[in-house]
A and B are shown apart, each in its own frame.
Chain A
């Protein structure tokens, strides 16, 4: 029996599939790809699985890292939703009539993010929290016109580095506002000094990089003449007043805690939300509510004239492929937990951080939290005699300590950012404390 290929070639009057490549000049042809030939599926699975076994997961090794990504429990129902191949094997819902499932899921994601943040509109995602911040700076400039964007000096360095690349070409300059050495919150006096009519926006995080809740949002709002951009941890939002109540214009954040695993740092979910009056200046894809020709409720992509495929070089952003499936996961996560469940998770993370900090603080030589007050997930631990040796010793005992802050902020070179979530077993915490005891 002739193969599909043979039949198709015969119908086209061709002898070989090579005839279809006759337009590739010989000068650019390659004899073959310079990689090994293919392997059967079972061999690939065995090889990759074995290679990955060299990783030590947070299950193998109690790990106290946070700094933007957190090991929260993901309910099986969230995985079940995003494992539906109607979702994960579809593309951007350009054709709404056969994409209502995805469109509604994304619209509900937008709605839930708006409930958490007090904003009116959210897009369906940016690449991660850091690019969401970069896009927010550009949007603040579009709204206000000023060319200075203020950020806290106590900002995770990877966010700061991505921001530096995202403002290029927009005629923007980023300036840092220091944090108060006692409270760990933004230094308001320094913010006042930095403020000028040329400041298009101010970025502040709640909770901030140190895990400390930023309790001065009202004061910061009053001092800001430009656009107020607030960075959030979405789970913490369940128990704090939303930034919308404090006059925020744009809210961004890393959405990974909402139903996505850490995955070694990707894929992640950039949350981006704003007030209704700014929606035409917002980057990224958005879903709107409308009607079909018969008057039934329907959803579709909207405000596309802001986007690259229509507006080309004048687009609000170049983003096309985004992180939609993670937005669906976030919507499923929030729907599964409900507002009570989300509040329980948030409260537990506050309590766990408080308890762990208190336990570490009891060990002579360690100070935790370095900045007093309420924390979420994480807090700074200082050891005056230095932290580097502790970090190494923990690793040798099969425990991964917090993020050393040496590379982040020189004045905290003797400190680390320790994080905990509801997933740490008492045994894991016990092992950490026992290991730290050795350094008293």
Chain B
């Protein structure tokens, strides 16, 4: 009744659905993790603080940053935190900047985080699936707070001109924010720091494979370059002669975004995963993730179009537009039919600039056999009778679910269902 990574192939683009190691589950279940209270005296939680301290350091090194906070609960909260840090940085310089620049391929959380903070959003159109430098030059200026970018972008394309992008934003006095959702593509090859980003969030539930838990919990630590360090949320985990401690004495801090220190049980898992993989293993992670994505793309040539040329990194976006025009079969039909073959469908209808989009991210933990099976299934599906596809899925616990009806008359609880009045 429920499909997880352990059930089968889950190429959900942008979500990095890779194998969740079992040994990290065992570690996270230790009483020394589960049965400690966050208000305990520092002297009684030295083990926990050490894990946090060392994880801060490992993440900073991996990303080429100078300091890390582990507090944010998820990527979106990392973005929120990062934008607050950027604002604090500019204010320290006596500048009120309120424009956030975002490419049209950005994840929805980027504009939503900026919107929540009341910043003005400037969306710049892409050119050939990449940031249009001319459009960026026109958008950047004295009001630019930051550019939010993920590299590789959501099309899976590496922004080759990333240093020019950084130059334009920095020349305007703005900061560069790295959305770490696609970090799985570049481990050991480059880093956000090397690409001149100032702020980065990590999705530990993606790159560092803490389980997605049906939509959460995750963890979204934020790394920054030196000039932004004073503004990090309190407490920062420090080390002095007496041991590890919670440092609240940070007068320029933005304060808190979570009640305590972050999703500790997830942080323990990510820490153990990083120790297990190491620098050499993490590079292999990205190598294989990129190989797998490019391999599927290669094998799908002639089956589905993949707009925009060049290499892909860990994911690619195909389009069913031609199929829709010629045979009336849409992306949603392909996605639903894939379930009958035992696959979780790719991310669909995102990013918006690709018509009838299917965003495929296989991750590194899948074998060639699995990838070949997926390709063969798609090859078969696109030739099937349109009626079979429109009425798919056929082999699942329930048939196609009426999502329109659910939204028209929302029934969110037994209480509403049983209530004599029809819901408004």
Inter-subunit contact B108/A309 (CB<8 Å): yes
Closest to B292 in A: A8
Q: Among B39-47, B135-143, B319-327, which stretch is in contact with chain A?
A: B39-47
Q: Is the CB of B412 within 8 A of A288?
A: yes
Closest A residue, CB atoms, query B393: A97
Interface 9-mer from B9-17, B169-177, B379-387: B9-17
**Bound-state Cα–Cα, A216 to B85, Å:** 40
- B54-86 residues with Cβ-Cβ distance < 8 A to A are 58, 61-62, 64, 73-77, 79-80, 84
Q: How far does the alpha carbon of A289 sit from the alpha carbon of B408 in the complex, in Å?
A: 11
* B40 in contact with A17 (CB, 8 Å): no
Smallest CB separation, B77 vs chain A (Å): 6
B189 and A30 form a contact (CB under 8 A): yes
B400 neighbours in A (Cβ, 8 Å): 97, 292-293
Q: Given A263-B33, A291-B405, A312-B112: A165 and B38 within 8 A (CB)?
A: no
Assign chain B's interface to a size class.
Answer: 35 or more
- In the complex, what distance in Å separates the CA atom of A386 from the CA atom of B236? 29
Give A50 to B350 CA distance when docked, in angstroms: 45
Task: Assess the A321–B76 pair: CB atoms within 8 A.
Answer: yes
B416 touches A121 (CB 8 A): yes
Question: How many angstroms from the CA of A28 to the CA of B41 in the assembled complex?
Answer: 43
On chain A, the residues within 8 Å of B91 by CB distance are none
Complex-state Cα separation, A37 to B276, whole angstroms = 8
A101-118 vs B, Cβ < 8 Å mask (1 yes, 0 no) = 110101100110111000
A81-89, A187-195, A349-357, A369-377 - the one binding chain B: A81-89
Interchain CB contact under 8 A, B411 and A292: no
Flag if B215 contacts A91 (CB, 8 Å): yes
Q: In the complex, what residue of chain B is closest to A64 when comparing beta carbons?
A: B37
Inter-subunit contact A161/B423 (CB<8 Å): no
The answer to whether the Cβ of A9 comes within 8 Å of any Cβ in the partner chain is yes
- Give, as a whole number of angstroms, the nearest-CB distance from B231 to chain A: 12
A12 & B294 in contact (Cβ 8 Å cutoff):
yes
Task: A89 to B367: give the CA distance in the assembly, Å.
Answer: 18
CA distance A266 to B419 in the complex (A): 36
Q: Select the residue from A21, A90, A92 with max chain B CB neighbours within 10 A.
A: A90
Contact of A4 among B75, B344, B367 (CB under 8 A): B367
- Residues of chain A lying within 8 A (CB to CB) of residue B424: 276-277
In B1-34, which residues have CB < 8 Å from any A CB?
A: 1-7, 10, 12, 15, 17, 20, 23, 25-27, 30-34
Contacts of B399 in A (CB 8 A): 97, 292-294, 296
Whether A264 contacts B38 by the Cβ 8 Å rule is yes
- A206 within 8 A of partner (CB): no
- Residue in A96, A124, A286 whose Cβ sees the most chain B Cβ within 10 Å: A96
Measured between beta carbons, the chain B residues less than 8 angstroms from A94 are 12, 347
- Chain B positions 258-315 with a Cβ under 8 Å from a chain A Cβ: 258-268, 271-272, 274-283, 287-288, 290-292, 294-295, 298-299, 310-311
Task: Using A55-B45, A55-B46, A292-B398 as known contacts, say yes or no to A302 and B73 having CB atoms under 8 A apart.
Answer: no
Q: Contact check, B37 vs A69: say whether CB atoms are below 8 A apart.
A: yes
B226 an interface residue at 8 Å Cβ cutoff? no
Contact assessment for B407 and A288 in the assembled complex, using a CB-CB cutoff below 8 Å:
yes
Q: Which of A24, A27, A47, A309 has the most CB of B within 10 A?
A: A24
Closest 5 A/B residue pairs (Cβ): A265-B260, A38-B278, A265-B38, A169-B118, A325-B213
Sample of 11 more A-B contacts, CB < 8 Å, known A17-B290, A38-B275, A311-B108: A8-B295, A20-B287, A30-B190, A89-B212, A90-B214, A168-B84, A169-B118, A313-B111, A319-B76, A322-B215, A403-B39
29 contacts between A and B (CB under 8 A): A9-B291, A23-B157, A33-B62, A35-B61, A37-B278, A37-B281, A38-B278, A48-B272, A89-B4, A91-B214, A94-B347, A95-B339, A97-B339, A97-B398, A102-B2, A107-B413, A114-B414, A129-B259, A161-B255, A164-B255, A165-B256, A266-B260, A290-B405, A292-B401, A293-B400, A302-B406, A303-B410, A311-B108, A324-B213
